Structure 1
Amino acid sequence: MPIAIPDNPPCVLCLSAADATGGGGLAADMLTLASMGCHPLPVQTAALVRDTRGIDEVWPTEPELLVTQARAILEDVPVAAFKLGFCGSVENIALIAEILSDYPDAPLVVEPALHAAVLLGDAGEEIAPALADLILPQTTLLVGGYHDLWVLAGMADEEPRAEQYDEEAAFDEAVAELVGDEVLARLLGSGTEFVLLTGSAAHGPQVVNTLFGHEGVVRTDAWPRLPGPFLGAGATLAAAAAAALAHGMELPEAVREAQEFTQQSLRHAYRVGMGRALPDRFFWARGRAGDDV
């Protein structure tokens, strides 16, 4: 279902870390939202010292600066949706949760990007519990791979490891069974409305993404597995879902639209450095809009 672009684009407040590669974080949000006909309102939660190969340092934004900037823009501009990425610190999470509680009618899409928290040492270990306690109860759609979901559910110690299995298929089956039986019950029980489990970390010729709600599986979509790795694929998917919701699409259709956009972006990914490829969020502006997904 194509998105109809209004004369005045819907505004989406995105809170995430600055990424100078343009691949992930706020840059991914802004490029994706703009490409899908929204106006991004970027609020920085941290600064990443990184290149296309990986993250070297994380510098959280001062909580007072974050909340002052977010409040200033929200008092001026009506928002149609929120998109939340890496928050930078527990203090930032608490303040963001307070802000979000004032806008319960605006959908919230969360892509936690917990890989960045590792660089914060002991402070980073508190990021996932804070998200689970303060943000997930307000979340419309949580987007993540099985590892992030396991950590957010407080079950990291029980997460299966690939080396425990003789075959990739057996590992994938064990992950799917445990996520479905235990992890999702905890996440949806926290108040999160929907969870999109991405299959990029699994194996096989297809990436299978599954949308879960309180009644069970809402939809399952399979996509050809593309040669990677990519920088910012998860952020692109989550921001695209926020854009579709901001345009008024129902959530299952918004998730499908976001996947189609992300698949096209990854199909036309390019390398600007020596590391991961960056999704081309403006593939349609380079004469590629007619390509088959």
Structure 2
Amino acid sequence: MERSVLTVGGSDSGGGAGIQADLKTFAALGVHGLSVIAAVTAQNTLGVRRVFPVPAEMIAAQLDAVAEDFDISWAKTGMLFSPEAIYLVAERLRALHCSVVVDPVIAAEAGGSLIADGAIPALVEELIPVASVVTPNIFEAEAITGVRICDMESARDAALRIVEMGARAVVVTGGHLECRAAGLQADECVDLLVTEDESACISGRRRSGGNHGVGCTYSAALTAYLSMGMNLQEAARHAHEFAAQSIEMSRPVGHGAAPVDQAACLRGDAERFRVISSLDHAVSMLKEELTFVGLIPEVGSNIGMAIPGARSEGDVAAVEGRIVRAGRRAHVSGCIRFGASRHIARIVLTAMRFDPGIRAAMNIRLGEDLLSEASRMGLRVSSFDRGEEPPGESTMSWGTARAIERLGAVPDIIWDAGGVGKEPMIRILGRDAVSVATVAIMLSRAVGKR
């Protein structure tokens, strides 16, 4: 029987934090999540409107139900709200003999208290001593310890006090720490991992985006990775990156703090696989089509495709080394990988600014025969003049934008007559690599019949 991971916490009716965030995180990381709801909140992205504590007997019944049927290796706690709930959950978790991550939830990211008056002493006396790891942000660490956190040293002092309370380890999460700590880069986010014997900084690039539910997401990810057998520092690094990705892909679904997106990593991997598959199919089509070799320019051809929402050249895959002539056939001189072609990436990224659905492009030779056939096929054609390019601009970014602005829409074909040391060229744009390759093959067959 496979082991399961348990979360005990509050329900967020807005779906961004609490039990909902925990279960989404567990699912994204491939562990089976169990849940015990200790409180129900009337909550959205603007804040918490009301909290209803679940009666102790119902919390106990839920704990009994999951303990009876599942092998629970790790559990995490979130919003428990009342002292009664904290005492009960701590007692039952001790009886389960499972490892526990305690997320000492005190306030919602969107605003509003999530703990009753008098509950913090219960947290300190009963729940923290059960914890394998406690994951406070700086405000929670201050509330628990009374230590004013203004830099990494004071964060370490607060963490050590929590260790003295009985926790085996503490991770002070750094979402707010860099705002106070001197010496940290503005774009750096640092978590501080502390045990009785050592401490370690876990840093990463600060991501822009909404952060509603990020604390729950981090602690749930840490719990999931620990349940997989990772050591604490390894699990903390993975959880840090998982939470950062979820912030970067947060969704502005409400009018307040945007909830983080725990499934972003799954969709990102899936989209990259789909891009590679489309390009692989497109390249095979071009290699098998004998007429296509006549469309390859002297500098070679390339074809690329971006993931949805691409933001950088690393989000656009293309053929490494280009597609070149080899006798009567097209030859691919490298593999397909992301970041392989700056030239194609700039075309695609610029086109996506005007129409996010246009995610693929390729270059072929310029010829009046090809432009004539493109018009006959009903393709939208536009162009740019390299002589008009402003100083310091990227030709492909500027030229693509110029051609789009001239037409008033993203064209199917963008051409230019070249310049000094620059070969005349046609670029075919489309929604995916296969559709772009299909247009290229249709053009090659049409001019081949002339």
Q: What's 1:18 paired with?
A: 11
* Residues 260-279 of structure 1, C-alpha deviations (whole Å, 9 max, x = no match): 21111111111111111121
What SS does the aligned partner of 1:196 have? strand
Q: What's 1:169 paired with?
A: none
Q: What's 2:69 paired with?
A: 76
Q: What's 2:38 paired with?
A: 45
Contact 1:107 1:245 in 2 (8 A): no
Contact 1:233 1:262 in 2 (8 A): yes
Match of 2:166 among 187, 191, 202: 191
Inter-CA distance 119–263: structure 2 relative to 1 (3 Å threshold): closer
Taking the aligned partners of 1:101 and 1:287, their CA distance within structure 2 comes to 39
Q: Residue 97 of structure 1: CA displacement? A: 0.9
Taking the aligned partners of 1:249 and 1:46, their CA distance within structure 2 comes to 31
Q: How does 1:155-174 map to 2 (within 5 A)?
A: 155=146, 159=148, 172-173=150-151
Q: Which amino acid aligns with 1:256?
A: R
Aligned length: 264
Taking the aligned partners of 2:174 and 2:83, their CA distance within structure 1 comes to 28
Taking the aligned partners of 2:41 and 2:173, their CA distance within structure 1 comes to 24
Match of 1:137 among 129, 134, 137: 129
Q: Answer yes or no: is 1:227 the counterpart of 2:203.
A: no
What SS does the aligned partner of 2:174 have? coil
Inter-CA distance 274–112: structure 2 relative to 1 (3 Å threshold): same
Q: What's 1:282 paired with?
A: 263
Q: Answer yes or no: is 1:255 the counterpart of 2:248.
A: no
Contact 1:114 1:148 in 2 (8 A): yes
**Comparing both chains, which one has the higher relative contact order based on Cα–Cα distances under 8 Å and sequence gaps of 6 or more?**
1
Taking the aligned partners of 2:117 and 2:155, their CA distance within structure 1 comes to 21
Q: How does 1:122-133 map to 2 (within 5 A)?
A: 124-133=116-125
Q: Residue 73 of structure 1: CA displacement? A: 1.3
Inter-CA distance 159–32: structure 2 relative to 1 (3 Å threshold): same
Structure with max Cα Rg? 2
Taking the aligned partners of 2:90 and 2:264, their CA distance within structure 1 comes to 34
Taking the aligned partners of 2:113 and 2:140, their CA distance within structure 1 comes to 16
Contact 1:118 1:124 in 2 (8 A): no
TM-score scaled to structure 2, two decimals? 0.56
Match of 1:57 among 50, 54, 61: 50
Q: Residue 288 of structure 1: CA displacement? A: 4.5
Q: Which amino acid aligns with 1:109?
A: V
Q: Percent identity?
A: 30
Q: Which amino acid aligns with 2:153?
A: E
* Residues 241-282 of structure 1, C-alpha deviations (whole Å, 9 max, x = no match): 110111111111111111121111111111111111121111
Taking the aligned partners of 2:11 and 2:230, their CA distance within structure 1 comes to 28
* Residues 202-250 of structure 1, C-alpha deviations (whole Å, 9 max, x = no match): 3222111111111121x31212222344110010000001101111111
Q: Which amino acid aligns with 2:42?
A: V
Further displaced range: 196-205 or 232-241 = 196-205
CA root-mean-square deviation: 2.1
Q: Answer yes or no: is 1:201 the counterpart of 2:194.
A: no
Q: What's 1:165 paired with?
A: none
Q: Answer yes or no: is 1:180 the counterpart of 2:156.
A: yes
Q: Residue 126 of structure 1: CA displacement? A: 1.3
Contact 2:160 2:194 in 1 (8 A): no
Q: Answer yes or no: is 1:103 the counterpart of 2:103.
A: no
Contact 1:229 1:277 in 2 (8 A): yes
Q: Answer yes or no: is 1:270 the counterpart of 2:251.
A: yes
* Residues 27-60 of structure 1, C-alpha deviations (whole Å, 9 max, x = no match): 0000000110111111101011111111111111
Inter-CA distance 248–273: structure 2 relative to 1 (3 Å threshold): same
Q: What's 1:213 paired with?
A: 195
Taking the aligned partners of 1:285 and 1:33, their CA distance within structure 2 comes to 12
Q: Answer yes or no: is 1:151 the counterpart of 2:133.
A: no
Taking the aligned partners of 2:204 and 2:155, their CA distance within structure 1 comes to 20
Inter-CA distance 70–99: structure 2 relative to 1 (3 Å threshold): same
